[in-house]
Structure 1
Amino acid sequence: MTDMEKKFSAEWMKKAEESQGLDGYNAARLLKEIGERGGVSVAKRALDRNGSSENFEILKKHNRLDLSMESLVVKGEYGSLFDDREVNDCLGLLCECGYFG
């Protein structure tokens, strides 16, 4: 795992931990998965599915999309970790929800 991948994983874990206090958000499984497989791998698998995740919908409900995996994927510093389709899908989903960073 590269330093950039480690940084992505750590930042996502921090956001997931912060999200834990939101009604309905359960970060335990996500944190375990990121710890075992790395955040980039987990994110890529999630992005291969169509639509948003349950956690994304909970963050959206609480106006906290800043804590979402999608908000990390579109950050410029992580651009090299994801392909254009992955970044564009995240950007499109965030924009549809009125989140512009």
Structure 2
Amino acid sequence: MTDIEKIFSEEWMKKAEQAKGLEGYNSAKLIKEIQQYGGVSVARRALSRNGCSDNFEILKKSKWLDLSMEALIVKGEYGSLFEDDEVNQCFALLCECDYFG
């Protein structure tokens, strides 16, 4: 795992910890997956499954999309970790929810 991948994983785990108290948000499972497989791998699997992370709707409903995997992926410093279509997919989803960072 590269340094930037480690930083991405660490930042995502911090965001998951912040969202811990939201009803239905499973931060313990998410953090365990990130620790086991790395954040980039977990994110790619989520994007290929259904277009957004499992916790996205919970964060959307709670108005905490800044804690989402999708918001993290579209940050400029992590662009090199993902394919353009993955970043665009996240950006489009966030725009549909009126989230612009």
TM-score normalised per structure 2: 0.96
C-alpha deviations, 1:47-73, integer Å up to 9, x for none? 112233331000000000000000010
Shift of the alpha carbon at 1:25? 1.1
- Give the root-mean-square deviation of aligned CA atoms: 0.9
5 Å matches for 1:42-57? 42-57=42-57
Gaps of 5+ in 2: none
Tell me which residue corresponds to 1:96.
Answer: 96
Evaluate the alpha carbon distance shift between residue 37 and residue 54 of structure 1 in structure 2; reply closer, same or farther with a 3 A threshold. Answer: closer
For 2:44 and 2:82, locate their aligned partners in 1 and report how far apart those are by CA, in whole Å.
8
SS at structure 2 position matched to 1:21: coil
> Which segments of structure 1 move beyond 6 Å, counting only runs of 4 or more?
none
Are the aligned partners of 2:9 and 2:40 in contact in 1 as well (CA < 8 Å)? yes
Gaps of 5+ in 1: none
Tell me which residue corresponds to 1:80.
Answer: 80
TM-score normalised per structure 1: 0.96
Shift of the alpha carbon at 1:28? 1.1
Could you tell me the percent identity over the aligned residues? 72
Q: How many residues align?
A: 101
Are the aligned partners of 2:53 and 2:69 in contact in 1 as well (CA < 8 Å)? no
Tell me which residue corresponds to 2:34.
Answer: 34
5 Å matches for 1:52-71? 52-71=52-71
